[in-house]
Amino acid sequence: MQRIIRDTKAFRLRTPVISLSAVLIRRTIFRSLLLVVFLVGLFLGPGMAAELPHLRVGALAKGSVRWEMTILKKLGLDTKYQFVLDVVPYAGKSATEVALQGGAVDVIVDDWFWVARQRSQGVLLTAFPYSQTVGGVVVPKDSPIQDLPDLQGKKIGLAGGPLDKSWLILRAVYLQRYGSDLQDLTETVSVAPPLASVQLERGELDAIVQFWHFIARLLAKGKTRQLVSVDALMRELGLSETVPLLVYVFPEKLVRQNRQLVQNFIHAVYEAKQYLLDHDEAWKEIADLVRAPDEKTLILIREAWRKGVPRRWDAETFANLERLFHIMRRIGGKRLIGTEQIPEGTFLKEISF
């Protein structure tokens, strides 16, 4: 190989003559630059030294998702896990669904049946557990209704409508126990959750199928009682454990392109959940969001929420979800599910706890 430098003796750098004053000036400038860099880094802080990715969560303006997100922000967990949380409030569930599908937000909370239905229609979404607390059946405290057969001939308010999962699970249990569809034996009306509670208290309804936090508010007043919870109904259907019905929903594209961001978000929200599990005082910080009129109501809502925090997400969970899917499909039909099997990818299984 040809040598580029044949004579090393001839290849010599001439060292320029620099005065002492010039050396001192250069040292002063260098030290000044170091000081500027240090001060800029101190001012910006570690979280702002680099641009962090933003993650937009679409949440109901008066919903429980905002409770967790508020605690997450207060604890600085988004910064800890290297993202910036942006909460975008919406008035209703359908608005969050449209926002997610339109790319206005990155995450919402919905039920996983909706995710399965969307995937069956080619909309690639995927789910990770949010809560396994859904609701139950509530009756007036002095009501003669003591068990499910007593609901026959009664007027029942459905806070979530005729395809609400709590109502479908109740129908499935009744069918399994007695061989009849409760829908054929009762008068049902779809009522908005707040109005359902009011009408039950007024005696305009004999029973309501209500969401969990509205149930807590009713029970705090002492004028009603819970006939049965959806948790108990699911166990009666043969599930070995209570499974999550509500889930965080992500576009599959986001998971593929930025799995680390999604994983960091999940770590952050579950750390926020743990904080709400361990610290009673944290609930006083979000009391305004919870909108509890008194401490008794706040405690009941707190304990109901804690009961619903998912504890596992593994093969047994997926097997129970599969069982529930087929039970619900028999009751709700194609209108509810839209597919005969849970589409592959409905659940984000790669991340577990």
What CATH number is attached to the domain comprising 148? Answer: 3.40.190.10
Q: What is the structure's pLDDT at 50? A: 65
Same domain for 122 and 102, yes or no, is yes
Q: What is the pLDDT of residue 319?
A: 95
**113 within a domain of the structure (yes/no):** yes
Look at residue 351 and tell me if it is in a domain.
no
Q: Are residues 219 and 79 in the same domain?
A: no
Strand, helix or coil at 323? helix
Q: Residue 223: pLDDT above 90?
A: yes
Residue 32 has pLDDT above 80, yes or no: no
pLDDT in tens, 173-193: 999 999 999 999 999 999 999
Residue 115 CB-half CA count within 13 A: 27
Q: Which residues of 235-262 are buried (b: 16+ CB within 10 A; e: fewer)?
A: eeeebeebbbbbbbbbbeebbeebeebb
Flag whether 343 is in a domain: no
Mean pLDDT in the chain? 88
pLDDT (tens digit, 9 = 90+) per residue, 41-70? 444 454 444 699 999 999 999 899 999 999
pLDDT in the model for residue 28 = 54
> Which pLDDT score, from 0 to 100, does residue 42 have?
45
Q: What integer pLDDT is reported at residue 31 of this predicted model?
A: 53
pLDDT at position 332? 77
State yes or no: pLDDT of 167 exceeds 50.
yes
Instruction: Indicate whether 115 and 141 sit together in one domain.
Output: no
Between the two ends of the chain, the Cα-to-Cα distance in Å is: 60
Q: Are residues 44 and 62 in the same domain?
A: no
Helix H, strand E, coil C: the string for 286-308 is CHHHHCCCCHHHHHHHHHHHHHC
> Does residue 329 have a pLDDT over 70?
yes
DSSP 8-state symbol, 350: S
Q: Which helix (H) or strand (E) holds 187?
A: strand 187-190
Domain count of the fold of the chain = 3
Assess if residue 10 is contained within a domain: no
Q: Are 141 and 228 found together in one domain?
A: yes
Is position 348 within any domain? no
More confident residue, 307 or 25: 307
**249 and 232 within one domain:** no
pLDDT for residue 242: 84
**Mean pLDDT across 74-92:** 98
Assess if residue 3 is contained within a domain: no
Residues 194 and 153 in one domain: yes
Mean pLDDT of 286-306: 96
Q: Does 26 have pLDDT greater than 80?
A: no
- Say if residue 43 is in the same domain as residue 58: no
- Residue 22 is predicted with a pLDDT of 45
Question: Which of 279, 145, 169 is CA-nearest to residue 225?
Answer: 145
- pLDDT band, residue 7 (cuts 50/70/90): very low
Whole-number percent of the chain with pLDDT over 70: 85
Determine the structural domain holding residue 221 and report its residue range: 135-236
